[in-house]
Amino acid sequence: MRGTTTIALAALAAAVLLAPGPAGGSTVAAPPAPAAADGGADWTFMIYGVLDTDNVADVLTQDLASLTSLPDTDSVNVVALVDMPEQGEPGYPSQPLPGLAPFTTAKLLQLDDGRWNEIRDLGEISMGRADTLSDFIEEAADRFPADEYALTLMDHGGGRYGGYWDTGAPGTQNLTIPAMREGLLSGLQRSGIARFDVLFHAACLMSNYETASALAPAATYMAGSEELMFANPLAADGMLPLADDADPQALADSLVDGYGRYLDQLAQQPGGQQIRDLAAMSVVDGDQMALLDTALQSFSDVAVAHMDEIAVQVARARSAALEFVTSLDDSGGVPYDLVDLGDFLRHLTDVPDDVAVARDAAYAALGNAVSHQLTGVGTQQATGLNVYLPTAADARYAQDYFEPGVAPQGWGDFVKAFLESSRQQGGQGSGSAVGFTSQQATVLQADQSGIKIAGQLSSGDSSQVTDSQTQVVTRIGGVDDALGVVLPAYLDAGGQGQVQGVWDYSLTVLTDGTKEVAGTSVYQAQAGGLLGSLFAQYTSPDGDTSDVAVRLLLSSEGDIQSVQVVDVSNGGASAAGVSLEPGGTLTPYVYAASFSGYTSQLSSQSIAVSDQLAVSFSRLPAGTPFTMGVVVADVAGNSDGSYVTEQVR
């Protein structure tokens, strides 16, 4: 692994300035509330802005401010319900919306004359309630009738967990998938609107099968992201087709492409390239979702009937498929377990003929449902919708998934059968279904360039392996027996049942050009390269602390292509970008060996945040002792390893 890449200190703060709107900050008296438009417009574009939540109000306020650059036209209404946090809370807007004084309540706003104009103040409300969403839709449609309607939901997103968390007064609440569906359908019914023409999720992870299936009756086209979104999710130029009375599909495509152009600009800024590299946006045709539901129900029916014989293949396909916000689950929160639906189906092989036929039909139906995509170099295999597929080890987090309104029936039956079969197979006999013939690995090659080891599985066990890793344990950060790095291992390399691991003696480090501080890093294969994470505690100059993940995208040759810093201080439940300030510090987390596996603790060393801060790879000194092993797991999550103790050459 090679290369050194500077970590941007304020990449996201700079990025939102790429498309600035008119300067805000002046206190302007609100005009009288407008009467309903005479005769209606071509489009009414509604924005449901849940800004009263962690660390989004400032960047999303700047996003909304950028919309004031849109041309004024009588044929388009832009109306927003925006709820702000209390002043002094982290992320409170550094500048007010153009045309308004700072506020901390929820306000109904209209975009007109290059500024935001207050219609009325709703006080403290919960934007995480279905009835609040329904009320907004009804009032916006009543005040601003139009031929066509679009709705943007703006805040954190969580895939199958829903999104749009309001953490302020009167209490924390979010729009689960059933709550979103209830709020949308109720608002549409009360407004006399058959369906939204476009629904845009300006939030992370919401191009999600469970969400799209539930909301298809409420929207003709649904646009959003399978991965994280950053800073400026609703790009002003993506809305420009509204003025030309664009058809719904063209508008949905433009919202995705507008964000893509913003990412292209962001990629030119320090720290912005990986955000572009990991983009995975899509547009879904709501009219095609019923056919996809039917195809996945048929796939589930035959797959469930064969589950005991294909559970290993399912687990292998899940392990090989493109996974979103991968490695962020290690931050201690509830895991996302979101994989790309089509990529999973592509990797599901060696199954009975009837399962293969149903799999192919489901894949074709997915292709018909996804009408437009935008991907990056790290997400080239994305097919447009992520889906929840937990591992056996994460089964304890899946119970609420089977509650009414969350999992579509077909896919829910498939997930339940997979987890149950995995549990039963793990309970048969004792120990793991996979094991090495010896706990002592063989050194195949060791020189100054690195080391290659191999472990031999027992006869027939290769077919039961669902995941494999290379693990290196050494002393880092003042911790003996610390997990230094986790890399992929290679099954059946060099012969049937042989598992090989390769390491070049380097660890992932944070550096200021003089000092280097290592932490535990975990790498997984993705799009022909590796995607890795190193977790650290960030301490701001004011002494506030938060947990962050430094994400690295590596090429197939091991070169650093891009680096991204993500705030995971809430356990990754709503990962967001973070700006590192000079004068702060980063202290990596180190995973120390314990009786129960590995536990995280802070390194004894920290690195100061400065404009020289970078992430790099540092080769351990010759003579440094380490233990290296190849580890495999079965469908139930049981594991076994084969190890060797060596020294750096």
Over the stretch 20-71, which tens digit does the pLDDT of each residue have? 222 333 322 333 334 344 457 999 999 999 999 877 899 999 999 999 999 9
Rounded CA separation 41/145 (Å): 7
% pLDDT > 70, the chain: 90
- Rounded to the nearest 10 degrees, what angle do helices 307-320 and 409-427 cross at? 100
At residue 596, the pLDDT reads 65
Residue 124 has pLDDT above 70, yes or no: yes
Rounded CA separation 400/404 (Å): 9
Q: Are 204 and 156 in contact (CB under 8 A)?
A: yes
At residue 12, the pLDDT reads 33
* Angstrom distances, CA of residue 577 to CA of 271, 421, 509, 603: 11, 38, 20, 23
Rounded CA separation 1/3 (Å): 7
**Average pLDDT rounded to a whole number, residues 183-187:** 98
CA end-to-end span of the chain: 17
Domain ranges across the chain: 40-278, 290-370+380-427, 442-647
CA 187 to chain centre: 29
3-state helix, strand, coil in the chain (%, to 5): 30, 35, 35
At residue 269, the pLDDT reads 81
**Average pLDDT rounded to a whole number, residues 298-310:** 98
At residue 482, the pLDDT reads 94
E-state strands within 270-418: 280-285, 338-340, 370-375, 386-388
Of the listed ranges 11-20, 79-88, 241-250, 318-327, the one predicted with least confidence: 11-20
At residue 54, the pLDDT reads 78
At residue 273, the pLDDT reads 79
What is the residue whose two structure tokens read 């309630």? Answer: 129
CA 381 to chain centre: 16
pLDDT digits (tens, 9 = 90+) for 415-473: 999 999 999 987 554 457 899 999 999 999 999 999 999 999 999 999 999 999 999 99
At residue 140, the pLDDT reads 98
CA 136 to chain centre: 28
Residue 291 has pLDDT above 60, yes or no: yes
At residue 15, the pLDDT reads 26
Please state, rounded to an integer, the average pLDDT across all residues of the chain. Answer: 90
Residue 595 has pLDDT above 60, yes or no: yes
Contacts of the segment 32-38: beta carbons below 8 A, 24+ positions apart: 33/119, 33/120, 34/110, 34/119, 34/143, 35/143, 36/142, 36/143, 36/144, 36/145, 37/77, 37/143, 37/144, 37/145, 37/146
Residue 240: both structure tokens together: 């420009």
More confident residue, 538 or 332: 538
Rounded CA separation 40/317 (Å): 51
Residue 88 has pLDDT above 90, yes or no: no
At residue 9, the pLDDT reads 52
Rounded CA separation 15/259 (Å): 12
At residue 556, the pLDDT reads 86
Type of residue found at 634: D
More confident residue, 597 or 506: 506
Class of domain 40-278: alpha beta
pLDDT band for 274, please (50, 70, 90 cuts). Answer: confident
Residue 577 has pLDDT above 60, yes or no: no
Cis peptide before 170 (omega within 30 of 0): yes
At residue 565, the pLDDT reads 86
